[in-house]
Chain A
Amino acid sequence: MPPEISQHLGQVSAGAGIGLSVVGMGLGVGLIFASAIQSVARQPEMAKQLTTLMYIGMALVEGMALLGVVFCYLALKG
């Protein structure tokens, strides 16, 4: 494979990696918020505890996905 094609392939795959990370993050955070909203609608008195749990879950999902985004960006740069 000529070197310029492999370099472009690397850039394309790094960009696709950013997109895939964001798809995963969107799915995960969407599921978490959806179930939190449903639970609060069923039991409004649990809202305070559920908000804390929701933020923990959101941070856990988002952190790993953002790691993917940042590392893909660094790969794109190199």
Chain B
Amino acid sequence: MNSNFDLNEYIMHHVLNSHEWLLPFVSPIPLPGVLTSHALMVLFGCTIILLLFLVFYRKNERVPTGLTNCLEALIVFVRDEVAIPNLGEKDGLQFTPMLCTIFFFILTLNLMGLIPLFSTATANINVTFSLAFLIFVLLVFGTLLRNGLKGLIPFFIIIEIASILVRSVALMIRLFANMIAGHMVIMSFLGLIILFGWVAFPAIFLAVFMYCLEVFIALLQAYIFILLSAVFIGQMYHPDH
């Protein structure tokens, strides 16, 4: 047993934010100034989404093939399964672009966290806070614009805002906790190998199993985030049913 090895330190080093970009096989690259590794990952994620939709997405095809087909299937899924059933025909079509943007953003960041070159930006509570803050602002001011003050006074305005706040905080915590917990489990399985040596060889299979589960969770969390956002927006916009 390797007694010099600190499992806690190892897990936290791989999960938490840092000022250097961790790379496999080479020493970490220090990042300048305010740029941290998770901020870098957000920039990478935005670049990937922009590349996917501005360069690789061929809009003029009558019958979409290849990557265009794949992306279109996801967009139609968001429109038909999430937006329209929860928000109604008219609002659903209006909200589809926003829900699609959030969906692809979270999905890209979640899946990037599973590639060894990158780290998970959604396992940082600041990133999930900013995503949930968007929903919070939309729930408060969108309802004000849409329904006027009476949209916010089913009970009392303070209770209503408190309930919106709780829902947004739950959105934030859920994404953050799911992503960080999965990576912590994978890292603790891999840390067992360093701790115990060859005896812990079966831990690799457990780690691979958790990795496969993480791919599913990455998809599920992106779906759940927009689904719950759509449900909450639908409740606030159409309070009577």
Chain A: residues with CB nearer than 8 A to chain B? 52, 55-56, 59-60, 62-64, 66-67, 69-70, 73, 76-77
Contact = CB atoms under 8 A, between A and B. Distances in A.
Given A63-B173, A67-B173, A77-B12, A55 B223 contact: yes
Say whether chain B's binding surface is mostly helix, strand, loop, or mixed: helix
A29 to B, nearest CB: 13
B194 interface: no
A3 to B, nearest CB: 20
Interface string B206-222: 00000000000000110
B204 interface: no
B177 to A, nearest CB: 4
B177 A52 contact: no
B170 A63 contact: yes
B228 A66 contact: no
Given A67-B173, A69-B181, A56 B12 contact: no
Nearest to A70: B177
B22 interface: no
A8 to B, nearest CB: 15
B224 A66 contact: no
Nearest to B9: A77
Contacts of B173: 63-64, 67
Contacts of B227: 52, 55-56
Interface of B: 8, 12, 81, 170, 173-174, 176-178, 180-181, 184, 220-221, 223-224, 227-228, 231
Given A55-B227, A64-B173, 18 more contacts: A55-B220, A55-B223, A56-B224, A59-B174, A59-B220, A59-B228, A60-B174, A63-B173, A63-B174, A63-B177, A63-B178, A64-B174, A66-B174, A66-B177, A66-B181, A67-B174, A70-B180, A76-B8
Contacts of A67: 173-174, 177
B228 A56 contact: yes
25 contacts: A55-B220, A55-B223, A56-B224, A56-B228, A56-B231, A59-B174, A59-B220, A63-B173, A63-B174, A63-B177, A64-B173, A64-B174, A66-B174, A66-B178, A67-B173, A67-B174, A67-B177, A69-B181, A70-B177, A70-B180, A70-B181, A70-B184, A73-B184, A77-B8, A77-B12
- Most chain B CB within 10 A, of A64, A70, A76, is at A70
A64 B166 CA distance: 12
Contacts of B228: 56, 59
A47 B175 CA distance: 26
A55 B223 CA distance: 9
A73 B81 CA distance: 36
A60 B178 CA distance: 11
Contacts of A66: 174, 177-178, 181
